[in-house]
Amino acid sequence: MPESGYISDPKLSTHNVMVAAQAKGTDFLFKTEVIDILKKDGRTAGVKLADGSEIAAPVVVNVAGPHSFVINRLAGVEESMNIKTRPMKQEVAHVPAPEGLDWEHDGYMLSDGDIGTYSRPEVGNHFLIGSEAPECDPRLWVDDPDNYDLNFTDQYKCMVMREAMRVSDLTVPNQYQGVVDLYDCSDDWIPIYDKSDLPGFYMAVGTSGNQYKNAPVVGDMMAGLIDFCEKGRDHDKDPFQFYLKYTRRNLNVGFYSRNRKINTDSSFSVIG
C-alpha cells in the first residue's frame, strides 16, 4: 500500500494537531477533569470541572476515549443507546528482531489472521506485535478505567509465541517491554459518531483500537454533523451525508448511529 504507513510517535503527531488547533484559536486545559455535564431547558449547557468551576457551552462532544461511558452516564444518555462502549485492556509487545534481520528498515506491516496477530517494525530494530482478538483468547474487560492492572499477562507471551511461529529465531524475551492500555470498545467494534438523546451533546467514541489516523476526517465529519443537527435537522430519521473529498463519495453517517443494530458484518476485532 504505497500511500499507507504508520505513526510510530503518536505523542508527537498529537502534539502537532494541538499546535495546529491552537493556531486556529483553540484553548486547551490540561490536567482538568470534567465531573458533570450541565443541562438547562432540556439541552446541554456546558461542563462542570473538578475544581468546581463551570464552562458554559451550547455544544459538548464526548471524546473521552476509554472513559466515554462515564461521560455518557454523566450526560444521562447511555441508558437509551442501543450500542454501548466499555474499556478493554490490551497489550502490545515490543520484541527485538532476530540477529541479522534489519526489520526496522526492511520490515513490513503484517496482518496475520491465522495466528490472530498484527505486527509492524518498531524503532530499535524491534517487532511491535498486537492482538487481532481471536475468539480463543479471553477478553480483558475493565470495570474502572482509572484503576486496573497495568501488568502484562499471558496475552503478551502468547502473541510473541505466535509471531515466532512465522519469524525464524524470534524469541519471547524474559523481560517484557511494550504497552498496556485500554481500547474504548463498542459492542460491535465499530465507532459511534453521533448525536445523543440530549440536544447539544454529541459523541465520537467506541474507537475500538483503531481510528487514530481517521481522526482528522472524523473531526471534519463531526463538525458537519453538529452543524446539521444544530440547524434543526433530524439525523436519526434523515441521516447526515458526509462528502469524502478524496474518494469523492458520500458517507452515510447514520452507519455510526448509537441506535444501530449490532453490525454482524464486523470482524468484532481491532480490524473493525
Ligand X SMILES: Cc1cc2nc3c(=O)[nH]c(=O)nc-3n(C[C@H](O)[C@H](O)[C@H](O)COP(=O)(O)OP(=O)(O)OC[C@H]3O[C@@H](n4cnc5c(N)ncnc54)[C@H](O)[C@@H]3O)c2cc1C
9 binding ligand X? (CB under 6 A)? no
Identify the residue among 46, 121, 209, 239 touching ligand X (CB under 6 A): 209
Which H or E run includes 130? strand 126-131
87 binding ligand X? (CB under 6 A)? no
Identify the residue among 210, 263, 266, 267 touching ligand X (CB under 6 A): 210
Give the closest residue to 190 by CA, choosing from 94, 81, 270, 109. 270
CB of 184 to ligand X, least distance (A): 6
CB of 231 to ligand X, least distance (A): 25
CA distances from 80 to 22, 44, 216, 237 (A): 35, 17, 29, 16
**Taking CA 252 as the corner, what is the angle to CA 47 and CA 221, rounded to the nearest 5 degrees?**
40
For 137, list phi and psi in degrees, rounded to 5: -90, 145
Identify the residue among 141, 212, 243, 255 touching ligand X (CB under 6 A): 212
Footprint of ligand X on residues 153-192 (CB under 6 A)? 179, 181-183
228 binding ligand X? (CB under 6 A)? no
CB closest to ligand X, residue no: 65
75, with CB counted inside 10 A (0-12, 13-18, 19+), is buried
CB of 138 to ligand X, least distance (A): 16
Give the closest residue to 201 by CA, choosing from 80, 27, 28, 87. 80
Size of the site for ligand X (CB under 6 A): 19
* Number of neighbours of residue 169 by Cβ within 10 angstroms: 10
Footprint of ligand X on residues 15-74 (CB under 6 A)? 33-34, 63-67
Q: Which residue has the cell 530499535?
A: 124
CB of 36 to ligand X, least distance (A): 9
CB of 180 to ligand X, least distance (A): 8
End-to-end CA distance of the chain: 18
Which H or E run includes 182? strand 178-186
> Nearer Cβ to ligand X, position 98 or 215?
215
CB of 64 to ligand X, least distance (A): 4
Q: Which residues bind ligand X (CB under 6 A)?
A: 33-34, 63-67, 90, 92, 179, 181-183, 207, 209-213
